[in-house]
Structure 1
Amino acid sequence: MTDLKQLARDVFPDELVTRFPVRLVDLPYGAGKFALITMDNGQDHTKPTTFGPAGLAELGAALDQVEQLAASGAIVAAGVTGKPFIFAVGADLKGVGVIRNREQALAIGQAGHAAFGRLRSLPVPTFGFYNGAAMGGGVEIGLACTYRTISSAVPAFSLPECFLGLVPGWGGCTLLPNLIGPEKAVSVVIGNALDQNKQLNGVKAYELGIADVLLDPADFLAESLRWAARVVTGEVTVERTDFDRGEGWDKAVAQGRAIADAKVHGASPAPYRALDIIDAARSGDVEAGFALEDEALADLIMGDELRSGLYAFDLVQKRAKRPAGAPDRSLARPVTKVGVVGAGLMASQLALLFARRLEVPVVLTDIDQERVDKGVGYVRDEIDKLLARKRLSPDAANRYKALVSGSLSKEAFADADFVIEAVFEEMSVKQQVFAEVEAVVSAECVLATNTSSLSVTEMASKLAHPERVVGFHFFNPVAVLPLLEVVRAEQTDDASLATAFGVAKQLRKTAVLAQDAPAFVVNRILTRFLGEVLAAVDEGTPIDVADKALEPLGLPMSPMVLLELVGPAIAAHVSETLHTAFPDRFGVSANLERVVSAGKRSFLTWESGAPEVDPEVAALLEVGSSPLTSEQVRERALAALAQEIRLMLDEGVVQAAQDIDLCMITGAAWPFHLGGITPYLDRAGVSEKVTGKRFLDPGVASVPR
């Protein structure tokens, strides 16, 4: 048996220990006494309950009491619930980075199984009352119970382990498919986890069959106890389904492998290990399944992918909330009205976002009434869609519609505090727009540009107050991608920048400070990356060979699919901007220009359902006679990324390498198992080979060697 207290001292000395007080409750209807265990780390909901070794030891002590009560006949049932708003969010992973050997890693898995297993072996029925957010081990402790209730207000419910580089290793891979069937289990363990850690809510978890009953949050605990009493007395019987353990199970696992292949291309072992355990779970041999989970945890805890996943998780949970280099927030000015110059698709998306998040009047302008009407109409149509999907109440929908209006005159911006332009990506056009806006707004109104690559400093240079201008670069689709690059031009003052960061926070975006450099962060990196792939094609490398070269990294999409998403015309424009700034590193692909001139939107066609090289595009290309192998393309692309990132850091484009990674994760959806990009370049040896040093300190996002 693992010595949990010793493990806590060795590996998790800073653990925020969760306590498990036990109290006896009289069940309604004279059903008897109920032993209720409440999981509580003594903090408010901003520090969710987790399980570290010391916490598991506390759970063991609580179960000692419950076992004694059950053995004496003093209770008829037992259950676990959480503190207000939080059930439990799983294992305490803070100590993972200092685990030194596989023996310690194996002990973590065994400790969780040993503790949760005692719930399964109690001689009385057990109940998990999911009162709030439940993730990972929090879900699994509920699965260890005989029955489960869930609140309809639970906002987040998931098994996120494969997203981070682990498997649900305290029962999730073994118990869940036997509870809800392999197909649904694969969707939760693999599909949702690899879909950027998609969360279920309480209603969906109930509909999947994870919980036996859905209850209102107002009196959730009281109603859970009433339902438990009815189960104990036999008034309620819960039927369990016996699933097809042959062909149906095979099909579900195969579907899971297809999802994993599409998402990580074999680059992260975690989802494949999880699928192996789900496959084995069909036997119904729970202990054998738990042993497989222990072994998988031991291997994966000692893997680089988990370190990178935890590094990435820390970035989006902590660094994203405290933007490095941002001015003191007390300098921010209030924003009570927003102006949007332009009424095209991007401008309309921005108007919708500002109206929903800031809940202040938003006015769009454009050059003719038809465009203005189309932009305002887009916003109202999107609000109607949200209403139809019950994402908004009728009152909220009406309120948001009333906030958005259109005008042909920029005089409508006279009382605006924040005006953002989203017009054609041409310097002279943007300078004219800002000059017209400055003529009507107050001296303190912030002027923001959504430019993806142009100089914000040059854009502001002809204004009377250039200090008010900031870059405010969103990523498309605006409602989905979290990143917002906040760009400081040469004369931007702290108050304007602080206001921009304040607005970004209200918009619920991940704001990263960037200095005014060509293409800022994400577009500069992606353009260099795509440039190497296109250069390989220009030299004679077949398109499909170049496109598949980066598959071993497990990127969310191939270079050519990314090019299709960005749009060849936009990619060509950004490459021209960067070629002007850095002609020695950024080329302009003649073949890309041919594709743009021909009006083609992609190098690929999807007619067969899968991406294939478009024969019409292939016929346009003029290529050399020096083809590269996939490995050579990959080596060149990675070397170029390492070089460009080092130069960006030396130039002070961002505060640190962590900001590069945060941008790539939240703006380009680069996977957690890479940690963005710099941890991968470090552990692959590319950083030192190309630049002479690592980007991160040794041991960060990698296994201590």
Structure 2
Amino acid sequence: MSEVVAYTREGNVGVISVNYPPVNALSHAVRAGLVSALEQGQKDAEADILLLVCEGRTFIAGADIREFGKPLQEPGLPDVINAYESSDKPIVAAIHGTALGGGLETALGCHYRVALASAKVGLPEVKLGLLPGAGGTQRLPRLVGAQKALEMITSGNFVGARDALALGIVDAVEGGDDIRQVGLAYAQKLAGEGAPVRRVRDISDKVEADKGSDVFDQFRAGLAKKARGLFSPFKCVDAVEAAFTLPFAEGLKRERELFKECMESPQRAGLVHSFFAEREVSKVKGLAKDTPVREVKSVGIIGAGTMGGGIAMNFANVGIPATIVEVKQDALDRGLAVIRRNYENSAKKGKLTAEQVEERMGLIKTSLSYDDFRDVDLVIEAVFENMAVKKEIFAKLDEVCKPGAILASNTSTLDIDEIASATKRPEDVVGMHFFSPANVMKLLENVRGSKTSDEVKATVMAVAKKINKVGVMVGNCHGFVGNRMLHKRGAEAMALVNEGASPQQVDKVLTDLGFPMGQFAMSDLAGIDVGYRIREERRNAGEDVPASWMDKLVEQGRLGQKTQAGVYKYEEGSRAPVVDPEVEQLIESFRAEQGIVAREVTDQEILERCMYVMVNEGAKILDEGIADRSLDIDVVWIYGYGFPAYRGGPMFWADQVGLDNILAAVKNYNNTVGGEQWKPAPLLEKLVAEGRKFSDL
């Protein structure tokens, strides 16, 4: 008898119950217990039907992450599932919570499936650079057909119980929350009807219907753009196709071969790192688990522009009322119109109902007076990057807002402590740096000031989770973590173009690495006036900021996508960047003004100067304690800047490239290019000298 899997009988139903908190993961003990309990059920003459059910808050939620990277102990999951499918007694899987990955594969090995209405199912292995390796690519298509199986497996997305019923993944959906009683009732009903053993492997109508179709070629063509650079989604397609071209046993064998290829891919290591890093960032160094969290039932937002409107949507999406304050009514009207248009576009795509659109719009109020912030729990300022303006705003908030209200700035670069100095409550001031578009991008870079209280830190991290963001706590410096590194990359990209590269050459090197867009296309998306204002702010502060041909673009009214012209030009209704000869001419004129003779710049030099400068800066950020761990930097860049998750983030990627290689290049550019950005970070030198990696810290 296993400690985590028990066999009991209730009437004529043999009950196999799994109890392995917190998520009933498929550990070796669970797998062995499932086999042992099945054997007992098969021998139990009083049991006409068997029920597989889980204790706690969920059905089997997947593999046991504590066994990742360790040698497999028998029985393997495919053998467990085969034993269940081969049972001569019918087996019902009763699903609540989530049945994911190996959990869903186990349920598919049972003969019938009943789920609570709140349950979700899915095969998310692709998100770890893998494919379902215990029959998921062979059984799921037999129930849902090729197209839907391909969509589910290559996206890794979950489906709710009602959709799973419509697709044929489950056989019944019931209300309530007592999964054991629901499962028993369903099993007794089937036993009373004399329901036969019904193996998914023997179901063939969907396979026959899709045999010989061009669905696989069409799907691969669509993936070429959507999953550009990724390895496992295409292997998923190959595996699903095997379900339609090979006998079942041969399809399982092919699935295992493709699973092994994914296991051996370097992308798997990056995606596994990204997976764990996303979960680890919620643990803030020095912040006790029992730190009190303030309740946030309403928020105020200053600014109805792109950022302010997007931030308001995040809160409305989870049912938290938001009040937006602006200085002019027409700005409020424009902002509200953009929010409505965004919601209605989601409705057109079937992501929201018309009722949900109105419900969310109803949660967003507008005002011209700060007095409407008197009772809110959190205020987020989202105006342009100007310290004087922000300090003026925070002084007003200090007067108006109730004691205990959190005062946050969405600043992307400015000193949180200086902003807090405009108030009498610096302990309540914090940075909450959303990324554009704020209603889409998952990262929330929470910035602690020197006096920010632990309670406020804990609260903004909790808020991030509540609004479905990935929150990362970082320290206070110019640009914090993400933009501080981005500015170094941006300066090198600018310098490379000044020296002879073209913007499109620089961008292509970055997109070839896996970024969704390059440095200059990203500037156009964000609006190149944003960078212009930052440079002007630094110049006003007395910094020596060099002249830039991008300043000239702004002065000509070329602000990026929003004006259909920036570094690139954009056709009406299109976001695709088009090379503009006028910009090429402007760059040539700028070089002539600066006395620069253009030279040939190689792609390798672009890669090294754009990426290694980021790694070197990341090492300085770690040394200064601005980021607590290298994985914090990785998560910031994956979720805020589109760093390819399969490369694990800039610091993980650096470990793979070799810190000794990067240090040698940094030293070379320090001698040839010069500048503070190329002075080797002491931490980088230390790690190389000790033969260690960032991940060892």
TM-score (norm 2): 0.81
Instruction: Report Cα offsets for 1:337-391 as digits up to 9, x if no partner.
Output: 53322233422333344456574x6433221233345556666787889999796
- Structure 2: how far apart are the matches of 1:686 and 1:328? 34
116, 124, 130: which one aligns with 1:160:
124
What does residue 301 of structure 2 align with?
A: 340
Q: Tell me, yes or no, if the aligned pair for 1:49 and 1:89 is still in contact at 8 Å.
A: yes
Task: Tell me, in whole angstroms, the C-alpha distance in 2 between the residues paired with 1:117 and 1:128.
Answer: 15
Among residues 410, 426, 433, which one is paired with 2:370 in the alignment?
410
**Are 2:279 and 1:313 aligned?**
no
Which consecutive unaligned segments of at least 5 residues does structure 1 have?
A: 6-16, 27-32
Cα displacement (A) at 1:56: 1.4
Residues 1:527 and 2:520 aligned together: no
SS in 2 for 1:550: helix
- Aligned equivalents of 1:224, 1:698: Cα separation in 2: 57
The residue matched to 2:66 in structure 1 has which SS? Answer: coil
Which position in structure 2 is the counterpart of 1:265? 228
Are positions 1:49 and 2:49 aligned together? no
Correspondence for 2:442 among 473, 482, 507: 482
Whether the aligned pair in 2 keeps the contact of 1:531 and 1:589 (CA below 8 Å) is no
- 1:180 aligns to what? 144
Q: Is residue 687–residue 693 contact of structure 2 (8 Å, CA) maintained in 1?
A: no
Map of 1:633 onto structure 2 = 606
- Number of residue pairs matched? 654
Q: Say yes or no: does 1:322 pair with 2:271.
A: no
Given the superposition, is the C-alpha separation of residues 234 and 393 from structure 1 closer, same or farther in structure 2, using an over 3 Å criterion? farther
Matches within 5 A, 1:38-187: 38-41=17-20, 43=21, 47-69=22-44, 75-97=47-69, 99=70, 104=71, 111-154=76-119, 156-187=120-151
Residues 380 and 258 (structure 1), Cα distance of their counterparts in 2 relative to 1, 3 Å cut: closer
Q: Which residue of 1 aligns with 2:430?
A: 470
Contact preservation (8 Å) 1:311, 1:700: no
CA distance in structure 1 between the partners assigned to 2:448 and 2:507 by the alignment = 35
| Contact 1:19 1:39 (8 Å CA) reproduced | yes
- From 21, 24, 31, the equivalent of 2:6 is 21
1:18 deviation in Å? 7.6
Structure 1 residues 451-466: aligned runs within 5 Å: 451-466=411-426
The C-alpha deviation readout for 1:609-663, integer Å capped at 9, x for no partner, is 8945333565454246323333332222221121111121122212121211222
Kept in 2, the 8 Å contact 1:307–1:701? The answer is: no
Aligned letter for 1:315? A
> Matches of 1:441 and 1:172 in 2, distance apart?
54
Counterpart position of 2:251 = 289
Q: CA deviation at 1:693?
A: 5.4
Match of 2:310 in 1: 349
Alignment CA distance shift 1:320-1:370 (3 Å):
same
Q: Equivalent residue for 1:275? A: 237
- Note closer, same or farther for the CA distance 1:427–1:291 as it changes in structure 2 (3 Å cut): same
Deviating more after overlay: 131-140 vs 556-565 = 556-565
Residue 322 of structure 1 aligns to a residue whose secondary structure is coil
Letter in 1 for 2:252: F
Q: CA deviation at 1:141?
A: 0.9
Higher relative contact order (CA 8 A, sep 6+): 1
Change (3 A) 1:606 1:93: farther
**Alignment of 1:512 onto 2:505:** no
Q: Please state how far the C-alpha of 1:450 moved relative to its aligned partner.
A: 0.8
Question: Following superposition of structure 1 onto structure 2, how do residues 607-618 of structure 1 map, counting pairs within 5 Å?
Answer: 611=576, 613-615=578-580, 618=583
- Shift, 1:168, TM fit: 0.7
What is the CA–CA distance in structure 1 between the aligned matches of 2:543 and 2:643, rounded to whole Å?
27
Distance in 2, matches of 1:350 and 1:385, equals: 17
Change (3 A) 1:21 1:242: same
| Aligned-partner residue type, residue 38 of structure 1 | S
Letter in 1 for 2:130: L
- Deviation for aligned residue 1:170: 0.7
Report the alpha carbon displacement of residue 48 of structure 1 after superposing the two structures with TM: 0.3
Percent identity of equivalent pairs: 27
Contact 1:150/1:202 (<8 A) preserved: yes
Q: CA deviation at 1:551?
A: 4.2
1:540 corresponds to 2:500: yes
- What displacement does 1:474 show? 1.4
- Aligned residue among 304, 325, 329 for 1:369: 329
- Go from structure 1 to structure 2 and tell me whether the alpha carbon gap of 1:496 and 1:211 turns closer, same or farther (over 3 Å shift): closer
Partner Cα distance (2:420, 2:290) in 1: 23
The CA deviation at 1:477 is 3.2
CA distance, structure 1, for counterparts of residue 243 and residue 485 of structure 2? 43
CA deviations on 1:261-298 (whole Å, 9 max, x unpaired) are 435533x4322333332232222422223223333444
Q: Please give the alpha-carbon distance, in whole angstroms, between the structure 2 residues aligned to 1:589 and 1:425.
A: 19
Instruction: Give 2:633's aligned residue.
Output: 660
Q: 1:174 to 1:402 in 2, by over 3 A?
A: closer
Is contact 2:485–2:617 with CA below 8 Å preserved after alignment? yes
Verify the 8 A CA contact 1:518 1:577 in the aligned structure 2: no
SS where residue 132 of structure 2 aligns? coil
Change (3 A) 1:275 1:700: farther
Cα distance 1:575–1:38, how it changes in 2: closer, same or farther (>3 A)?
A: farther
Q: Tell me whether 387-396 or 52-61 shows the greater mean CA deviation.
A: 387-396
Match of 1:10 in 2: none
Shift of 1:517: 1.0
Question: Which shifted more, 366-375 or 568-577?
Answer: 568-577
Mapped to 2, the partners of 1:35 and 1:411 lie a distance apart of: 65
Distance 1:137 1:580, change over 3 A: farther
Cα distance in 1 for residues equivalent to 2:476 and 2:137: 48
Q: Is the 8 A contact 1:579 1:587 kept in 2?
A: no
Q: Name the counterpart of 1:692.
A: 685
Return closer, same or farther for 1:591/1:216 CA change in 2, 3 Å cut-off: same
CA shift, 1:486, in A, is: 2.0
Contact 2:659 2:693 in 1 (8 A): no
Q: Secondary structure at the match of 2:413?
A: coil
Query: Post-superposition shift, 1:258?
Result: 4.0
SS state at 1:50 partner: coil
Paired with 2:520 and 2:131, the residues of 1 have a C-alpha distance of 31
What secondary structure is seen at the aligned counterpart in 1 of 2:408?
A: strand
Q: In structure 2, the residue corresponding to 1:681 is in which secondary structure? A: helix
Q: What amino acid sits opposite 2:631 in the alignment?
A: Q
> What is the CA-CA distance between 1:430 and the residue it aligns to?
1.6
Q: Which amino acid aligns with 2:483?
A: N
Are the counterparts in 2 of residues 387 and 394 from structure 1 also a CA contact under 8 Å? no
TM-score, normalised to structure 1, is: 0.80
Quick one: structure 1 residues 347 and 294, their matched pair in 2 at CA, closer, same or farther if it must change by over 3 Å?
Answer: same
Q: Structure 1 residues 216 and 384 mapped into 2: Cα distance closer, same or farther (>3 Å)?
A: farther
Label 1:395 to 1:517 Cα distance change in 2 as closer, same or farther (>3 A): closer
Runs (5+) with no aligned partner, structure 2: 589-596, 664-683
State the alpha-carbon separation in 1 of the partners of residues 388 and 302 from structure 2.
15
Counterparts of 1:243 and 1:596 in 2: how far apart (Å)?
Answer: 63
Q: Secondary structure at the match of 1:88?
A: coil
What secondary structure does 2:99 align onto?
strand
What CA distance in whole angstroms lies between the structure 1 residues aligned with 2:367 and 2:616?
A: 47
8 Å contact kept, 2:93–2:112: yes
The structural deviation recorded for 1:573 is 3.9
CA positional deviation for 1:201: 1.6
Secondary structure at the aligned position of 1:323 is classed as coil
Give the 3 Å change call, closer, same or farther, for CA 375–23 of structure 1 in structure 2: same
| Counterpart position of 1:8 | none
State the 1:449 CA deviation. 1.0
State the 1:75 CA deviation.
Answer: 4.8
